[in-house]
Amino acid sequence: MPKFIEGEITAQGINFAIVVSRFNDFISQRLLDGALDALKRHGATDEQITVVKVPGAFEISSMAKRLALGGRFDCVICLGVVIRGATPHFEYISTQVARGVAAVAFESQVPVSFGVLTCDTIEQAIERAGTKSGNRGWDAAVSAMEMVSLLKAID
């Protein structure tokens, strides 16, 4: 029978960094609220959580890299929103943010969760930030907790 390793969803003993974009703040704040709610419901205290606000989604990955490599945090939760407009800017930004966050996780070997919404409309973003489709900030926080637990389990 194979050995199965599964992570736990707990905040105990974990130091969290959250990077959140200020652009489209009315949505990114909901994502942040969801992430904070998830962490606290799973045992985190304010002392375990550091929130860094960056200007826009493009800046998320560079800040995440600094935090991941700094040695103070067990994981980094990335939150923001990019909404399609009338120009190709959406494709450039959303692609680079996703690639950048993935690169940080790969290079640092620190769990980095992706809670950046890439939506065609404001309505889609609102749905994914705490209404009809759940809260992707909450989901990103849960993913971060589970990945920290998994890495500890395999070490």
Could you list the active site residues? 89
Q: How many Cβ atoms from other residues are within 10 Å of residue 17's Cβ? A: 24
3-state secondary structure of 94: helix
Is residue 19 left, alpha or beta, with left meaning phi > 0 and alpha meaning psi from -120 to 50? beta
Two structure tokens written together for 153:
């389990």
* Spatial contact of 78 and 116, defined as CB atoms under 8 Å apart: yes
Residue with tokens 């996703």: 98
Two structure tokens written together for 10:
């707990």
User: Cα separations (Å) of 111 from 22, 59, 133?
Assistant: 22, 18, 24
Two structure tokens written together for 116:
């950046």
